[in-house]
Structure 1
């Protein structure tokens, strides 16, 4: 959790020092730094994360993958519920909390997604989205080492997201670490098809990922009841 705060501070400081790189996109004044970090992340993914996800996808039965995704999704739902309430969307927050209660009680601790069958749908929310709902401007787009696309506002919200993740309190530490690795690999495996399409397409991967992230972020803020008016072209398009 301290790592999240230190990572955010280091990234923003490094971005400030390298932010002289100019570009024509007002949402991305740190493009020089961001492209370098994007290249670093992509190399780590190609060398380590993607092969691990492919091996996991090959040897792990689909129903086991589904159960793992459900389990960690259920843990994340609790923090989503809290954020939805903080955003003033109390009904949505209560519905998400009911998802956690139903899946934890009747879904073997969240391994089975019983709540979706009961029409209690999942909607992910994080603290960066909550800050956006409170009117905090997104600030420039920034690519974080290992964590990927973000904005200055969302980076500032990362420590709260780490503190709000119940799995970060799992003991003993070795089981928490093993679970965290499985969680990351499972998430990457879910994106294998999408990443293959992206790699095959004749486009600038960096531009595509940035624009998709920002547009999706804006949609999430508006869906949380934020202003339908863009924060300003200099500040965001959002994910």
Structure 2
């Protein structure tokens, strides 16, 4: 089964988690997830405050821009933009697959990157998927989890969204491998344009997912995020906790 990637993009992680959880359990069970207590959230009062801040930022800034983008940009163009940024993320998948000993997946990621960067015109067209090479979504947080590092408590990071102590710390080394890292793209306007476009395009793709949220928005996103992360770290070999 495929899940949407865990991402450090601003205020998007919660919605990505909600979307990803749909691959783990039936969507009609989501409402139950929203009311189940989670022991992994000892900092809930602080997390709720940060969640509220992030939600407000999203509601009054990013979401309106994403709606305008979704209205103005034709779907084929938006799909091509998403393909380009997915292709830029393939080296990250390759590195983390290798660190986890997933050499077959690493080979697929390598083939995907080479095919989409050449035949796919710098990733504009996802020819690799059409050839049966399915995209993997791996990050350093999953690698640490595969190495046995516990996730630690759930934490909501300002602007960055849902995370855990382990995953939050993994963002630091991952930032050096990102396409927008200063030494790779030293032209500031170009780098900022790429980051902004990636952000808005990803947010626009998640607009339809919000209707899945039920009940207490904070608990729903938290439970969905934690379940999705466990599913990703364990490659789907998890027991239903709910």
Same fold (TM over 0.5): yes
Within a 5 Å distance, the mapping from 1:27-106 to structure 2 comes to 27-106=40-119
Deviating 4+ runs (over 6 angstroms):
none
How many aligned positions are there? 204
Flag structure 1 segments of 5+ consecutive residues without an equivalent.
5-23, 231-236
Cα displacement (A) at 1:144: 0.7
Tell me the secondary structure at the aligned position of residue 167 of structure 1: coil
Larger radius of gyration: 1
Among residues 176, 194, 198, which one is paired with 1:183 in the alignment? 198
Q: How many Å separate the matches in 1 of 2:173 and 2:81?
A: 24
Tell me the secondary structure at the aligned position of residue 155 of structure 2: strand
Within a 5 Å distance, the mapping from 1:220-231 to structure 2 comes to 220-223=232-235
Cα displacement (A) at 1:25: 3.2
Whether the 8 Å contact between 2:51 and 2:161 is mirrored in structure 1 is: yes
Computed over aligned residues only, the root mean square deviation of the Cα atoms, in angstroms, reads: 1.8
Structure number with the bigger relative contact order (C-alpha 8 A, sep ≥ 6) is 2
Whether the 8 Å contact between 2:152 and 2:164 is mirrored in structure 1 is: yes
Scaled by the length of structure 2, the TM-score of the pair is 0.80
Q: How many Å separate the matches in 2 of 1:65 and 1:170?
A: 23
Tell me the secondary structure at the aligned position of residue 223 of structure 1: coil
Flag structure 2 segments of 5+ consecutive residues without an equivalent.
1-7, 9-36
Tell me the secondary structure at the aligned position of residue 132 of structure 2: coil
Change (3 A) 1:170 1:90: same
| Residue in structure 2 matched with residue 108 of structure 1 by the alignment | 121
Q: How many Å separate the matches in 2 of 1:210 and 1:228?
A: 17
Q: How many Å separate the matches in 2 of 1:176 and 1:191?
A: 23
Within a 5 Å distance, the mapping from 1:16-31 to structure 2 comes to 25-31=38-44
Cα displacement (A) at 1:213: 0.5
Whether the 8 Å contact between 1:138 and 1:151 is mirrored in structure 2 is: yes
